[in-house]
Structure 1
Amino acid sequence: MLINHGVSETLRDEVIRASQGFFDLTEKEKMEHSGRNLFDPIRYGTSFNVTVDKTLFWRDYLKCHVHPHFNAPSKPPGFSQTLEEYITKGRELIAELLKGISLSLGLEENYIHKRMNVDLGSQLLVINCYPPCPKPELVMGLPAHTDHGLLTLLMQNELGGLQIQPNGKWIPVHPLPNSFFINTGDHMEILSNGKYKSVVHRAVANTKGIRFSVGIAHGPELDTIVGPAPELVGDDDPAAYRAIKYRDYMQLQQNHELDGKSCLDRIRI
């Protein structure tokens, strides 16, 4: 959990309200942004990937590629402007976290930023809407998975539903007021040669009300080839993952069902 981050509570509340405003649009209006291409600038849908999911999940989503080019729906009024302000703040915050992580690995402060070409890096906004479910024990909002990318900045409304699995046991993540949950992604694990671990997490349904979560996945530039940093590889610590282009890894994950670290396992050496 991250507090004292400099993103105002007012802006956070505006993002949640704006998100609800989008999902309150008519289905026809929302379906203007339907699509199945991973790299569509704006994509509205349900579940994870209906072409590969054996079971549909209790979740609708809006995904927008917001950097290096900003994309967002024009409806409802003010939605795009609110998101643009929010993702700019998020990008500034992640830049500071990446500096700290670089230093913690014994690297130069801007190492990750430069090596991953973060100035042109991918920033994917994912707004999840989990409607109330009469029998939440029979469904899953999202199954166990890890995120692609370096770091995900996540906030959620007061209805919890995020769970993590640090020691093989699922525990709920209760949102602290005005806090962010920082999720370490697969590409931070790859780049650090396993010194940082991507976080296995899932989302469960509830009976109480609509849960919203707003995540911003920050990754390398799409054509950046990501492998373990040479400075972190040696005779006693060989490379644990093969290098792969970031966009290819994203497509690899999209083409398979979500299942823990199964995507990362495909590139382990």
Structure 2
Amino acid sequence: MEKHNTKWFNIECVPHCFKFPQEERPGDAPIPICNKIPVIDLGKSQKNETIKQLLQAGQEFGFFQVINHGIPENVATQTLSTFEEFFNNMTDEEKVHVASRKGWIFTGSQEEVKNGVHLWRDNIKHPCHPLEKCMQSWPDKPATYREVVGRYVAEIRMLSLTILELICQGLGIESGYFNEQSEVQLLSANNYPACPDPSLTLGILKHFDPSLITIIYQGNVSGLQVLVDGKWMCVEAVPNAFVVNIGNQLEIISNGKLRSVEHRAVTNSKEARTSIAIFVNPTPNSIVEPAKVLLNDSNPPLYKSILYKDFINASKAFGAHTDRKRQPDTDLLFPKVWDFAEIKEKLLLVEAEWMDKLPGSNISLRKLYYRFGRARAYEKFKEEFVSEENGRKHAPSLLQYAYLGQ
């Protein structure tokens, strides 16, 4: 006898509890594919060119995609199918009941995320390190779950080391810097059912990742959106490609040369979408700080040092609420200031001082801040507005004051 399995999303209109406030909704306007986000061929023999592309993508967009990455296509597609089976064949009640006795977390659509509004998704999270031990607590249905997902995690680990090593070489950081200081700590798989009105809902709120890098497989259905120059843009679903985004920790280690950027997930009305995100993080006892080789008098540290586990504990980074503004004690990681409103007066003061020093420069740190984020605005300010004779030597102290609260 077939088991009756009522699904929460088999409805004709979006319930009020899923409708986000007007200012947070995706809206009806079509969001274009961002053709600027590079698709990087890791199989090319020109290693230096690959490194250049990775760094440029990390600096400009905080996102890129990789192809010819060495992971067999069937490993990714079988894993995606396994998660689709997991989400489709179990009721929400069963998932919560089993997860309460096992080492994984199922989050259904009933979770309140912001002011009573729910996300249009189901989600499973579980730890992945050490792999052999963690696998014993993963779901045992479907029957192939542990074998298939375990193989996928092992492959992603190798890919992550390849990408991080190339980034090390590009930044000038010693080879192997991340080999012992990074782990595939967490897997998060999402199922976004087809939605009657995607303009009202969100799959995931806008957020920054607390990782070194995050590696995402989104199959053939797009839904990931990235903030590019203040506008939301879609990340194309490229066949057999992995999306890689720069996390907070790598932004810190690179001292702002690479950017962690906001992104979100939206739904669509035609078909369900499943995605798999692997978070590659520092080890819990790692001290996360700008790499010393990157620092000098003209490039002072933009971030404080912190134990990664302290950041996780203070910010609840892997909790249900991924919006950075909801994370408590972010001063532990981002010194003293983060939101634009908090530093507006300081920016205005610095602008006024530099207008006196450089008449006619038409400087706007505020515009730079909005466009590039704190660390990149600092770099852009030095590159574009500070002349050698008029005080490049003073720029670090002034910008530290504005951006670091010093």
| TM-score, length of structure 1 as denominator length | 0.89
Superposed displacement of residue 98, structure 1: 0.9
Indicate yes or no: 2:211 matched with 1:145.
no
In 2, the alpha carbon distance for the partners of 1:58 and 1:141 equals: 5
Q: Give the 3-state SS of the residue equivalent to 2:118 in structure 1.
A: coil
Cα shift at 1:122: 4.4
Q: Identify the match of residue 155 of structure 2 among 89, 96, 102.
A: 89
Q: Secondary structure at the residue paired with 2:231?
A: coil
- Pairwise CA distance, 1:6: 1.1
Q: Hey, what's the Cα distance between the residues in 1 that align with 2:199 and 2:290?
A: 40
TM superposition score normalised by structure 2? 0.60
Counterparts of 1:56 and 1:96 in 2: how far apart (Å)?
Answer: 37
Partner of residue 23, structure 1: 87
Unaligned runs of 5+ in 1: none
1:108 equivalent in structure 2: 174
Q: Within 5 Å, give how 1:159-174 maps onto structure 2.
A: 159-174=221-236
SS of residue in 2 equivalent to 1:125 = strand
Identity %: 34
Contact kept, 8 Å, 1:145 with 1:258, in 2: the verdict is yes
Q: Secondary structure at the match of 1:11?
A: helix
| Contact 2:157–2:184 under 8 Å retained in 1 | no
Matched residue count: 260
Looking at structure 1, the residues matched to 279 and 106 of structure 2 have their Cα atoms a distance apart, in angstroms, of: 17
Structure 1 match to 2:322: 258
3-state DSSP of counterpart to 1:202: strand
Q: Which amino acid aligns with 1:238?
A: P
2:228 counterpart SS class: coil
The RMSD of aligned alpha carbons is: 2.3
Structure 1 residues 73 and 256: CA distance shift in structure 2, 3 A: closer
Decide which of 54, 67, 70 is 1:3's aligned counterpart: 67
Correspondence for 1:219: 281
Higher mean C-alpha displacement, 40-49 vs 16-25? 40-49
Q: Which residue of 2 aligns with 1:206?
A: 268
Q: Which has the higher contact order (CA 8 A, sep 6+)?
A: 1
1:261/1:164 CA distance change after superposition, 3 Å? farther
Q: How big is the shift at 1:32?
A: 2.9
Identify the residue that residue 257 of structure 2 maps to in structure 1. Answer: 195
Q: In the superposition, relative to structure 1, how do residues 161 and 90 fare at CA in structure 2: closer, same or farther (>3 Å)?
A: same
> Given that residues 67 and 123 in structure 1 are in contact (C-alpha distance below 8 angstroms), is that contact kept between their aligned partners in structure 2?
yes
2:216 paired with 1:158: no
Query: In structure 1, what is the Cα distance between the partners aligned to 2:190 and 2:107?
Result: 10
Contact residue 128 and residue 213 of structure 1 kept, 8 A: yes
Structure ranking higher in helix proportion? 2
Amino acid across the alignment from 2:69: H
